[in-house]
Copies of this chain bind each other. A is one copy, B any other.
Amino acid sequence: MFLRVDKLQIELPAPKRQDPNAGAALQELLGGKYGEMSTLGNYLFQSFNFRSKSKLRPFYGLVAAITAEELGHVELVSNGVAMLNNGPDGDDDETDGGDVSGAPYEAMKDIRLAAAFYSNAGGATPVNSNGASWNADMVTTTGNVIVDLLHNFHLECGARLHKLRVYESLTDPTGREVCGYLLVRGSVHAHAYALALKKITGVEIEKMLPTPNIPLGNIPECQKYLNAGSHRRLYTFSPDDYAEIAGVWGGGETALPGDPPGELEVVEGMPEGGKIHQLTGVPSAFTPDYAPEEMFEIAEKLYQKSR
């Protein structure tokens, strides 16, 4: 079972301007082969299909707990996409007057992923930066623990590379913050899968990290997460389960050489998180609708009634 908490894993800065091509760039980290839908989909189905769960608890727990974190990553990138497509935080009481006849969205015809406006009003969907859908070909779940863990290690390394390149193409703080945070957390996951593989096979595969060969410290947006020790911390993302991942992550092992030093630690639960930004409705785009005032009023009454 899964529970949901109405927060993002981190506090995101609001975009400075609307930039649909930046939103589309971030889609590569959502629906691309090495995007968050893929990390989620792989670990989700691997955790369901895991054999001999009770005999392999620290390894099963690792895949299961990281799955929950990946759900939050999908959420974070999706929020980033929608925010960049919509622009600075706004005010629902300011409307655009409601004349739809003057081609108010002419600019949308020339953006890269025009369908993201036409069909989704700038919302995120599980497609890559070219608009191609995420799909089951991006899921590896073999039932063999070594093959799955090795796949996951390679996936996190590849994902790191893709995050770096998307980061390098963005100037807006929202997208850059998403990338910075995911780079730190992706490094944790790569490290964790490496340690799991080392426990089982004896191969010190964590010595391949960082791949690509650039320390997190070179990315300004990673600094605050490094300072806070996020790179040494694995969360159980569970009220009561998965603490046994400490068998893999911790027990005296330490941060990767290029990162701020310290012991690896398991945190039961989740990070503090940050607020979910409002996506201001745009009546002329029919979000939440053309004339939403009555809907707002109904919702307000229902909300009061529910307290």
Is A147's CB within 8 Å of the partner chain B?
Answer: yes
A45 touches B279 (CB 8 A): no
Chain B residue nearest in CB terms to A50:
B279
Can you sample 14 A-B contacts with CB below 8 Å?
A45-B124, A49-B78, A51-B288, A52-B280, A52-B292, A55-B92, A58-B303, A112-B112, A114-B169, A130-B131, A197-B208, A200-B295, A213-B290, A214-B290
Nearest residue, chain B, Cβ from A72: B1
**A140-152 CB contact bits vs B (8 Å, 1 = yes)?**
1111111100110
How many monomers of this protein are in the complex? Answer: 6
Closest to A135 in B: B133
Minimum C-beta distance from A88 to chain B (A): 15
**A106 to B126 Cα, complex, angstroms:** 23
Whether A228 sits at the interface, judged by CB under 8 Å, is: no
The reply to whether B237 and A103 contact each other, CB–CB distance below 8 Å, is no
Chain A positions 188 through 211: 1 when the CB is less than 8 Å from some CB of chain B, otherwise 0: 000000000101111111011001
A248 contacts which chain B residues (CB < 8 A)? 302
Measured between beta carbons, the chain B residues less than 8 angstroms from A121 are 49, 51, 142-144, 165
Q: Which of B92, B150, B204 contacts A211 (CB 8 A)?
A: B150
Which residue on B lies nearest to A59, using beta carbons? B299
Q: Assess whether B213 is in contact with A291, with CB atoms less than 8 Å apart.
A: yes
Q: Mark A55-77, 1 if CB is under 8 A from B, else 0.
A: 11111000011011001101100
Which residues from chain B contact A118 at a C-beta distance below 8 Å?
Answer: 25, 28, 32, 129, 162, 165-166, 169
Interface pairs A-B: 10 shortest CB-CB? A49-B123, A247-B302, A121-B143, A130-B131, A143-B287, A247-B306, A133-B136, A2-B71, A4-B68, A246-B306
Whole-angstrom CA separation of A74 from B2 in the bound complex: 11
